[in-house]
């Protein structure tokens, strides 16, 4: 396993940091999401993933004020998703902040048989339609 420091925002894309962005977004009445990966690197191989650092990354996300985590499935060292995804789920639950957890594994592992159902998807769609986000 490699060592990893806390997640750090891209200095050019987020010059004031993620925490400041979350504050701004929350003041607009919106939620803020972030992307990470259940592997050693993100799918684009440009940033480190959370594999082995789930607690650390969940706590960092919570400290920034993140509301949503899209968790991808690249560069995963062939470790079964049924082993990897619950680790981040538990870390998020222990982070001290309610963070919506959206796993991505392309349907290959039939998540409907082992992952909790997503009743909230309809609520998210309603929010997008009401606010015009995505139009």
Which of 36, 28, 68 lies closest to 52 in space, CA to CA? 36
What pLDDT shows up at residue 123?
A: 56
Whole-angstrom distance, CA of residue 36 vs CA of residue 56: 13
Query: Per-residue pLDDT for the chain (135 aa), expressed as one digit of tens each?
Result: 345 678 889 899 999 999 999 999 999 999 999 999 999 999 998 889 999 999 999 999 999 999 999 999 899 899 888 888 889 999 999 999 999 888 876 666 666 676 665 545 555 555 555 665 544
Nearest residue to 61 via CA among 16, 124, 17: 17
Count CB atoms within 10 A of the CB of residue 68.
15
Considering the entire predicted model, what is its pTM?
Answer: 0.80
């Amino acid at each position: 396993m490699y060592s990893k420091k806390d997640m750090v925002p891209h200095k050019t894309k987020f010059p004031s940091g993620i925490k400041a962005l979350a504050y701004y977004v929350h003041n607009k009445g919106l939620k803020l999401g972030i992307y990470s990966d259940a592997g050693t690197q993100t799918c684009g191989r440009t940033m480190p993933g959370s594999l082995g650092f789930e607690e650390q990354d969940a706590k960092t996300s919570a400290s920034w004020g993140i509301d949503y985590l899209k968790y991808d499935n690249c560069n995963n060292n062939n470790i079964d998703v049924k082993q990897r995804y619950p680790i981040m789920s538990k870390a998020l639950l222990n982070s001290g902040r309610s963070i919506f957890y959206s796993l991505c594994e392309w349907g290959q592992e039939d998540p409907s048989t082992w992952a909790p159902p997503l009743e909230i998807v309809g609520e998210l769609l309603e929010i997008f339609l009401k606010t015009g986000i995505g139009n």
